[in-house]
Structure 1
């Protein structure tokens, strides 16, 4: 299979799964294995297309981001959500990510740990739906500092590959009293600095594997992931108004079975 076709397929998989609570890591590992994209350059490619997904959030939420940064009052978020919410939300995962980066890369990126995180993440999502309290934050502007910090703590679970950042933080938000949509929007905004920091660090460490000759299919994957991620985010936010996290949790269990037979057996 040609590199450009592989780049498009992986870009679609990344864009579809990065912000859905189904684990982009699990999907990418499975897809890379099936496509034979296991060389070191494809690991760097995975980092690049993740940046494409981040750009999708920047494009979709640019008004909110301008408001957070205080660049334009016209684009302000509202009376409550502000930059301090974001700082409080990213601190736990930011600190843990820096301290545990090497450990995560060396110990938690095995196929077995990813499979286990798929299952445990799904259980957390079902538990959140079963135990959810009355929502005190109906919109993202209603989220309190306490809820922002709590969601940030849940985001630490996403450092475990396969757990899913959106799955951990949306489930955490629900348990802390936010609506599904409020938790999802806060999750997407929170992902920008965390993912940029994490992928930036990975990209620096993988710099030797970047080559000018690979620019074409790297760019193809980047653009594909960005466009697909934009469509996935918009669709997911609408879907959350009608369904719970439980179907996504069941999907994760099914993926774990597929993962086992194609990767581990």
Structure 2
């Protein structure tokens, strides 16, 4: 396997992980365009996502430590309820549970044809969330209630369909539950840390026996590239997600679906 493939897909992952456009969908499309498919490709696409997610750990390290009771003495402590590990658990259990039960069936969806459909359906879901969003009761991540965290967790189940987008489904779900777009985005990124760590660990345990040293280098290059690119891009992208309506990203998804349809099917 050419290391250029690892670099290209690593760049795509780093650029798209934090936008509601589906990084997995983009990697599947790129992989099929470069004839990079199969079991190793699927494992690679999961594992390098952790590289991009680690950029969030770097950016949000104070908030992550606060979840475990470590106080930041240099910052003014917020008053009232704050995000805690119960919120995270409520948010991740639904998707993690179903992902484990239906993991073999989910892998069958890693193809351009299914990504086309999910890009469109996910885009419509995001537009609906923008259209019918109720009054905001949680302006910041710390104001998210357990009920809202659960609704976001249920919405995250939709992201098991490759191309739907984890951030797209959870941000839209959060908005429908009464959170601001920025609060839902912050919660989504924090919630991604345990989810992707678990998914990456599972993939490594499942596939390490069939990997060679060349495979290890290939995976490592993709991992590092996705981390570096995401680290450089994450601040800008988080601001975009907070300021731009999801409708803008929906239009992009529709255009991408049309392009993929013409390239692979038409």
What's the TM-score, normalizing by structure 2?
Answer: 0.91
Partner residue of 2:37?
38
Unaligned runs of 5+ in 1: none
Structure 1 residue 100 displacement after superposition: 1.5
Structure 1 residue 77 displacement after superposition: 7.2
Secondary structure class of the residue paired with 2:102: helix
Partner residue of 2:233?
232
Partner residue of 2:154?
153
Structure 1 contact 64–77 (Cα < 8 Å) conserved? no
1:138-190 residue CA offsets vs partner (Å, 9 max, x unmatched): 01111011100110000011111111000000001111111111000000011
Structure 1 contact 68–77 (Cα < 8 Å) conserved? no
Partner residue of 1:205?
206
Structure 2 contact 136–179 (Cα < 8 Å) conserved? yes
Secondary structure class of the residue paired with 1:169: helix
- Residues 1:241 and 1:89: Cα distance change in structure 2 (over 3 Å): closer
Structure 1 distance, partners of 2:130, 2:199, is 29
- What RMSD, in angstroms, separates the aligned Cα atoms of the two structures? 2.0
Structure 1 residue 54 displacement after superposition: 2.0
For 1:71-220, what aligned pairs fall within 5 Å after superposition?
71-72=70-71, 74=73, 79-106=81-108, 108-220=109-221
The worse-fitting range, judged by mean Cα deviation, of 12-21 and 209-218 is 209-218
Structure 1 distance, partners of 2:200, 2:127, is 29
Aligned length: 263
Unaligned runs of 5+ in 2: none
1:181-214 residue CA offsets vs partner (Å, 9 max, x unmatched): 1000000011111122123222222223322133
Structure 2 distance, partners of 1:258, 1:193, is 34
1:50-97 residue CA offsets vs partner (Å, 9 max, x unmatched): 121121121111111111012346487763211111111111112211
What's the TM-score, normalizing by structure 1?
Answer: 0.92
For 1:11-22, what aligned pairs fall within 5 Å after superposition?
11-22=10-21
The worse-fitting range, judged by mean Cα deviation, of 134-143 and 75-84 is 75-84
The worse-fitting range, judged by mean Cα deviation, of 164-173 and 65-74 is 65-74
